[in-house]
Amino acid sequence: MPKWTDVRDRVIASLEFETVTEKMKDDFSRWLLENLLPEVKEIAKKFVEQTTAQAKDESGWCKVRDLVVLPCIIDGGLWLIEKALTKSIEK
């Protein structure tokens, strides 16, 4: 049975490439948009829901952070990433 480091080194070697092509960039962007982003959105949704619910027990800046700042940054950031990926694929 091979050592873990041998398996790891073979996987890394198989992922190496000489040149990044337009197809590679498009495929990766599409994979991010279709596979990774939906999963991240689900995780973010749960985080924002819990943070917003906890805001009712907070006061001052912690309440503002939990009710406004974190949800806006997370939702806005994911929206921006989705729009950028969509536009780059549609080019």
Q: What average pLDDT score do residues 41-51 get?
A: 97
Which domain range does residue 79 map to? 4-90
Greatest alpha-carbon pair distance for the chain in Å reads: 58
DSSP secondary structure letter of residue 20: -
What value does the mean pLDDT of the chain take? Answer: 90
Full-model pTM: 0.74
Instruction: Please state, in angstroms and rounded to a whole number, the distance separating the CA atoms of residues 24 and 19.
Output: 9
Count of positions (residues) in the chain:
91
Does 24 or 79 have the greater pLDDT score? 79
Per-residue model confidence (pLDDT) at position 40: 97
pLDDT(45) > 80: yes
Per-residue model confidence (pLDDT) at position 86: 95
- Domain count across the chain: 1
